[in-house]
Amino acid sequence: MERIWNYLFYSTWNLQINLGEILIQKPIHFIMLNLFPFLRKNKQKGVKDYKRVMNNKDYGFNIGFAFGFMFLSTMIIYSSICLYLVKLLNIEVGDTIYYYFIVVVALSYITNYLFLYRSDIYKKYFDEFDKENSKLNYLPVVFHTGVVIFGILSIHWTIGFNL
């Protein structure tokens, strides 16, 4: 399970790097270099600094966003499980919903801590996955979209949308 979770995390991080390059870096470089031609002499330094800030495996923006996506997906999974248990066992939630929320957040954090954060386990797997060079670039999109759809359907199937 740890390897699978780290592969999903690696794929999410890799997807964010690729999307960031296509949607942010290239358009901004095009606009900035055409508006301010004097910046062209420092273009390589700028690209290098951009990659250092965005793609760093220790403290880059993309690693933070990938951690956020994994945490959110885990929270949706645990919230759906909690919804099914509440519905199946006919538990009256009422004012105790805050406790359920705290339990879901704690379980999500513990899961991600054990599989990703603890002793920087993800770095070991990143090195391994970099060598493999897999072609499953669509996997994080399918996983996170599937989790969100599962969460929405879980709400519909358990408590419904009372609009």
pLDDT 10s digits, 100-159: 899 999 999 999 999 988 888 898 998 888 888 767 677 888 999 999 999 999 988 888
pLDDT digits (tens, 9 = 90+) for 24-67: 888 888 888 888 888 788 888 888 888 888 888 888 899 999 99
First and final C-alpha spacing in the chain? 38
Q: What is the DSSP letter of 133?
A: -
CA distance 75 to 153: 15
Query: Could you give the 3-state DSSP secondary structure of residue 33?
Result: helix
pTM listed for this prediction: 0.83
Hey, CA dihedral for 5, 22, 50, 128, is it positive or negative? positive
